[in-house]
Amino acid sequence: MIRIETAENAGFCFGVRRAVEIAEKAAEIHGKVFTLGELIHNEAAVEDLHKKGVCAVNSVDEAAGEVLIIRSHGVPKSEKEKANRLCKAVFDATCPYVAKIHGIVGGLSENGSVIVLGDENHPEVVGIMGNSSPKAFAAKSFEEVEDLFNSGAIGENDEVSLVVQTTFDRERFLDISQRIREKYPRVQIYSTICNATAERQESARELAGRAALMVVVGGKSSSNTKRLAEICREYTKTVFVTNAAQMPEQIAKNLPADCVVGITAGASTPGYIIKEVHQIMNEEIKTTNENEEDFASLLEQDQSFTRLYTGKRVKATIVSVSKKEAVVEVGAKQTGYIVREELTNDPNAEVEDIVKPGDVIDAVVIKVDDNVGTVALSKKRVDAALGLEKLQAVKDANETIEGKVAQVVKGGVIVIYENTRVFIPGSHTGIPRGGKLEDLVGKTVKFKIIEVSNERGGRVVGSIRQANKEVRDAAKAKFWETIEVGQKFEGEVRSIENYGVFVDIGAVDGLVHTADLTWNRVGHPKDIVKVGDKITVIVKSFDPEKKRVSLSAKDPEDNPWTKFVSEYKKGDVIKATIVSITEFGAFAQIIPGVDGLIHISQISTERVANIASVLTVGQEVDVKIIEIDEERERVSLSIRALSEDAEPAEEATEE
Ligand code: F3S
């Protein structure tokens, strides 16, 4: 028996159907009404509306003095006010989902800003912007949102809200909103996407998965109808017609005796066209059924075989495998086979890696061909259904899982997890913008599940970045729990500043002040290290609240002060080199890392007005150690003391 089924969400969406009904009702009352722009994009339907007295105009002025219908896209507030002033009557058929967005943007504080994610030329976006209390900006991508902040169009202290065009691609919206949340957490995001399109596609997919033939009805130029046809073709034989007159003759011929014929239609296809197609199909099937009745009843009588139809789940035993497919036994008249692409989602996997003769697997029938006596089955579609359930559980438990990156696709990469394809958007791969996603192919990666939906036959979105972040956060938490003063790390120089260098010690970057880089005198940190250098550092102090760590690259064992106090004592006369001159004295290096101060009063027995006229940097001088302050690690030197030491001896000689 051949049955006809119409997809659950075929044809007009709720908003368009409501607008058409309002227009038709208004035309019934007023005789003739005008819509601001075409109500729907379907020639036959527009012609039909015209006959009922519903005509389109391009501006409010053209409908002055007449009855005007505002279509489902909505209009700017000023346009509606103008219509109320100029027209005899105005019927507002703005879709309630769009009106809800008008309510959101109209209720916001005038001091803020609104970003409308969508196409700035689309009438719906124009209408939303024209109903916004704060200043409104349209943007299609994350980059365009960034431009609004960077250019100053959105003020630093503005309260910022974001709404999205109802028909915006959900996947893109998820990606963009995630990135906005991370970079501009102050943006209040309203998810205002309408599900009508996704639901229409989903019910077409579900029906096509069970049908031996799909009939898609709609305008040839309608992009949403073309997309429906594409989806159906992925699953079964599909014909695309604009109306009933285009239905091919003998369309039901060659269909299996027991199968489903599905009908779906685009968003602008009126119900009566769908009905006409249904009727024609019904008549075709009746004729075919009559002709084939005898053959069908013969088949019915044969109970020894499993009767197969598209969508039936079966146990399949693998009989043999080749490079391209696995031949299976399913207890039916037909020979079963599963091509490699229906065994796995991994484009790199071989058939023999997946199944071997004797294996019993779950599979679903995707096509029965009674003419040649074969039945095509799919393993991956059964796996995908089970995979969705499993991945939903993984998401709910916020687990991290592992999978192999199979390929790069538009906007990201595909990871295979137990035969289920998981899409990782480019911004969630952890590869920096401009980096090569190809580098990930073949690698096993850890990731989180951030979305599981039944749309498009099951869709799972993952994030490597979130898994990486979790690892980093855990490492940071452990770091702050275990850090101690004196702890040693092997770090890598991340950046160099005038006051010191930042060193990556794993979980955080710590600061080594210039003075803590080495025991010797340092001009600029770049004279000592460069970015990427590996250095050993010791924790000097840390602040878990401010997440700051102060480090030192000086090895305590090389402390020159220890060496100095072990070799020198007060009263020693030594040689030292002048290293700097100040107003109050000169510093002289005793050993590398230990300088002593020759105070201006200790330079000579004479009064010294200008130190530079007596001493020069680099000059080697004899000095006496006159004081060692061990606590403050300071040394006082004197040249004058040498002269004073010498004077009494000379006097004694003269006596
Ligand atoms: Fe249709 Fe309204 Fe959604 S017009 S697509 S139901 S927003």
Q: Supply the residue whose CA is at minimum distance from atom 2 of ligand 1.
A: 15
Ligand 1 nearest-atom number relative to CA 14 = 6
Q: DSSP string covering 408-474, please?
A: EETTEEEEEETTEEEEEEGGGSSPPTTS-GGGGTT-EEEEEEEEEE-GGG-EEEEEHHHHHHHHHHH
Ligand 1 mean position, distance from CA 166 (Å)? 7
pLDDT category, 301, cuts 50, 70, 90? Answer: very low
Is 70 exceeded by the pLDDT of residue 654? no
Ligand 1 mean position, distance from CA 165 (Å)? 10
Looking at residue 149, the DSSP 8-state letter turns out to be H
What percentage of residues in the chain have a pLDDT greater than 90? 48
- Please provide the size of the chain in residues: 655
Ligand 1 mean position, distance from CA 121 (Å)? 18
CB-based contacts of 260: which residues, under 8 Å, 6+ apart? 2, 3, 4, 5, 207, 210, 211, 212, 309, 310
Ligand 1 nearest-atom number relative to CA 72 = 4
Is 60 exceeded by the pLDDT of residue 467? yes
Question: How far apart are alpha carbons 311 and 236 in whole angstroms?
Answer: 11
Question: How far apart are alpha carbons 203 and 214 in whole angstroms?
Answer: 12
**Known catalytic residue: 230?**
no
Q: For the residues 467-495, what does the mean pLDDT come to?
A: 91
Sheet with 89-92: strands ordered across: 54-57, 33-36, 67-70, 89-92
Tokens, residue 357:
């003769």
Ligand 1 mean position, distance from CA 248 (Å)? 32
Q: For the residues 479-501, what does the mean pLDDT come to?
A: 92
pLDDT at 320: 84
pLDDT category, 296, cuts 50, 70, 90? Answer: very low
The full 3-state SS of 153-189, as one line of letters, equals: CCCCCCCEEEEECCCCCHHHHHHHHHHHHHHCCCCEE
pLDDT in tens, 517-550: 988 877 899 998 999 999 999 999 999 888 899 9
Is 70 exceeded by the pLDDT of residue 157? yes
pLDDT category, 293, cuts 50, 70, 90? Answer: very low
Is residue 13 in contact with ligand 1, taking CB distance under 6 Å? yes
Closest CA to 437 of 416, 407, 400: 407
Is residue 139 in contact with ligand 1, taking CB distance under 6 Å? no
Is residue 127 in contact with ligand 1, taking CB distance under 6 Å? no
Q: Which of 43, 47, 79, 124 is catalytic?
A: 124
Is residue 384 in contact with ligand 1, taking CB distance under 6 Å? no
pLDDT at 650: 47
pLDDT category, 289, cuts 50, 70, 90? Answer: low
pLDDT at 236: 92
Ligand 1 nearest-atom number relative to CA 194 = 3
Is residue 539 in contact with ligand 1, taking CB distance under 6 Å? no
* Residue ranges with strand state E in 553-605: 573-581, 585-591, 594-599
pLDDT category, 106, cuts 50, 70, 90? Answer: very high
Residue 549 CA, distance from chain mean position: 32
Q: What is the pTM of this model?
A: 0.44
pLDDT at 483: 92
Residue identified by tokens 């990666």 is 445
Closest CA to 325 of 365, 366, 355, 358: 355
What percentage of residues in the chain have a pLDDT greater than 70? 94
Is residue 74 in contact with ligand 1, taking CB distance under 6 Å? no
Ligand 1 mean position, distance from CA 272 (Å)? 20
Q: Supply the residue whose CA is at minimum distance from atom 4 of ligand 1.
A: 15
Question: How far apart are alpha carbons 84 and 91 in whole angstroms?
Answer: 10
pLDDT in tens, 189-238: 998 888 888 888 888 999 999 999 999 998 776 767 888 899 899 999 99
pLDDT in tens, 345-395: 777 888 988 898 888 998 988 887 766 678 889 988 888 777 788 888 899
Ligand 1 nearest-atom number relative to CA 166 = 7
Is 50 exceeded by the pLDDT of residue 9? yes
Closest CA to 142 of 122, 126, 162, 121: 162
pLDDT in tens, 112-125: 899 999 999 989 99
Is residue 14 in contact with ligand 1, taking CB distance under 6 Å? yes
pLDDT at 155: 83
Ligand 1 mean position, distance from CA 24 (Å)? 18
pLDDT at 653: 42
pLDDT at 77: 95
Q: Strand 33-36 and strand 67-70: pairing?
A: parallel
Q: Supply the residue whose CA is at minimum distance from atom 3 of ligand 1.
A: 194
> In the predicted model, what is the mean pLDDT of the chain?
87
With contact defined as beta carbons under 8 Å apart, do 415 and 469 qualify? no
